[in-house]
Amino acid sequence: MLEVKNACVSYGKSRVVNGISLKIEKPQTYLVLGRNGVGKTTFMKSIIGLLPMDSGSISIDNVDVTKCKAYERSQKGIAYVPQGREIIPMLTVRENLQLGCVAHKKVDFESKMEEVLTYLPDLTIHLKRKGGVLSGGQQQQLAIARALMSDPQFLILDEPTEGIQPNIVMGIADILKRYQKAKGIPLIIVEQNLHFARRIGDYFMIIQKGQCVKEGTIDELTDEVSAKYISV
């Protein structure tokens, strides 16, 4: 179980996240939705330890990790696929995958890579190519594969469909659902693509001005709710 209580996060004197809570248990998929600039990515970065919380707490399986550094949270099972993918373009696909488990001494690289590539087989023929020459969809698959190399207990993805062709988007949804079913891990996904959200999600939260303004089961994410809180 991953639980965040009353998270408040600021950039300088500007409060960006104001009292958001989230609780997710295996193997659920939780969507974090909202327009651009409302605090979604800031909230995710506070969960993984890249940004400090002004107040609030985060726990993994009832163990407080609020003061843990980002690499310590990673070792405790949180993996992150950042917005914009952020692969290392001058490294090969294989080398990018190695980065995913470098801080996880218990992970055997070769066997884990073989396992991960069963879910993302399109990367297999590109292992010796530099990440920067891959297509956008392939780079997104590589970013996901890199996160999976840590054998995570919780997987957070920030805008995984951004800039991706619709047919590839649905393929990514299927990959994530297959992996989740096999491993029983929770997913937290920041997203604006509602078709993707409804296909993959169990629960959702909508953020406005740094606060949660609506949450519920995915069946409650109606067109009316979307029009009120998400659509421009």
Amino acid at 19: G
Amino acid at 72: E
Residue 142 and residue 131 in contact, taking contact as beta carbons nearer than 8 Å:
yes
**Burial track 77-94 (b if 16+ CB lie within 10 A, e otherwise):** bbbbbbeebebeeeeebe
Q: Inform me whether the pLDDT recorded for 9 exceeds 70.
A: yes
Averaged pLDDT, 9-33: 94
Can you say whether residue 79 is alpha, beta or left, with left for phi > 0 and alpha for psi between -120 and 50 degrees? beta
Q: What is the pLDDT of residue 133?
A: 96
Q: What is the pLDDT of residue 175?
A: 94
CA distance 138 to 218: 28
**For residue 27, cis peptide bond before it (omega within 30 degrees of 0):** yes
Residue 131 and residue 93 in contact, taking contact as beta carbons nearer than 8 Å:
yes
Q: What is the pLDDT of residues 38-67, one digit of tens each?
A: 999 999 999 999 999 999 999 999 999 999
Residue 206 and residue 225 in contact, taking contact as beta carbons nearer than 8 Å:
yes
Q: What is the pLDDT of residues 102-119, one digit of tens each?
A: 888 788 999 999 999 999
**pTM score:** 0.95
Q: Inform me whether the pLDDT recorded for 26 exceeds 90.
A: no
CA distance 56 to 140: 32
Residue 23 and residue 83 in contact, taking contact as beta carbons nearer than 8 Å:
no
Q: What is the pLDDT of residue 143?
A: 96
Q: Taking the alpha carbons of 170, 163, 125, 104 in that order, is the dihedral positive or negative?
A: negative
Q: What is the pLDDT of residue 85?
A: 87
Q: What is the pLDDT of residues 196-225, one digit of tens each?
A: 999 999 999 999 999 999 999 999 999 999
Residue 56 and residue 4 in contact, taking contact as beta carbons nearer than 8 Å:
yes
Phi, psi of 50 (to 5 degrees): -80, -20
Q: What is the pLDDT of residues 126-156, one digit of tens each?
A: 999 999 999 999 999 999 999 999 999 999 9
Q: Inform me whether the pLDDT recorded for 232 exceeds 80.
A: no
Which tokens sit at 151? 């054998």
Q: What is the pLDDT of residue 105?
A: 78
Average pLDDT, the chain: 94
Q: Inform me whether the pLDDT recorded for 231 exceeds 80.
A: no
How many CA atoms lie within 13 Å of 93's alpha carbon, on the beta-carbon side? 23
Q: What is the pLDDT of residue 163?
A: 85
Q: Inform me whether the pLDDT recorded for 184 exceeds 80.
A: yes
